[in-house]
Amino acid sequence: MADASALRWWPAPAKLNLFLHVTGQRADGYHDLQTLFQIIDLCDELAFEIDRSGVIARVDDAASAPGPLAAIPSAEDLCVRAATLLRAKAGDPALGVRIRLRKRIPLGGGLGGGSSDAATTLLVLNRLWACGLSVTQLAELGLTLGADVPVFVQGESGLGEGVGERLTALPLPERWFLVLHPGVSVPTRDIFQASELTRNSPVLTIAALLASGGRNDCEPVVRTRYPEVAAALDWLGRFASARLTGTGSCLFARFASAAEAERVAARVPDVWRAYVVQGLAESPLRQSL
């Protein structure tokens, strides 16, 4: 087994949904959206030990707190599933890999950590296994794993439509954000199945969306069902406009500088976790590749 310190570690960045409008529900139960994805510099890290064993597995890394990751069965692990899909596409059953994950993005927070881990797995193994798939092919493969995977595969901030897979890159400014994790996990499926969720937001042009600033249609549902999230939104709202990302539980506010965000972060109650992050136009993984 390779020494973990000698391996190359690849970034898997988180994202924020600067707004999230639910514009309809499909016959298959999925929802049509208009959302603005902002990639941020909070990242998980992954390393890959490839071989010809035909075995695909994730191994725990000492630098990553095991937490709930240890309870995820291998068959449900998004990194393992991504690698398995890519190997099937490549048509070589002897391809093997041991995947190490340093987890820094909180689970169930609406930051897309699992989807980003899957995207990094697809992009890096496509190179290491010499599969030769295009970014478009990898994004289509990633969509079968989750609606957020394509944005991380494509690696640019921008507008997501459909279930989030139809992407229009937009030159968003590299702003600073304070992200709060209120200590709870919110299951995405529960929020999108909620009877009280608004599902009829009008479809707007990009110009109209950006001019309005948008909103998050999931936020009223999450506020009602998760008082911890409501309390954090109210607290952060004292300093700047606060908004839920995705279906939560994380929330964020935009600041003019890192110093301003750090000043508010220093006042965050100990029961919550704070991250001062920078918004990026391009994924650091894309730059690494």
> Known catalytic residues?
15, 148
Residue with tokens 């699992």: 114
CA distance 170 to 156: 8
Residue with tokens 């890096």: 124
Q: Report angle CA 177, 183, 186 to the nearest 5 degrees.
A: 90
Long-range contacts of 251-254, Cβ-Cβ distance < 8 Å, separation of 24 or more:
251/179, 251/180, 251/182, 252/16, 252/177, 252/178, 252/179, 252/180, 253/177, 253/178, 254/175, 254/176, 254/177
CA distance 44 to 118: 11
Query: 23: which DSSP letter?
Result: E
Sign of the dihedral through C-alpha 244, 275, 178, 45: negative
Which two tokens mark 191?
Answer: 């929020």
Which two tokens mark 29?
Answer: 């139960």
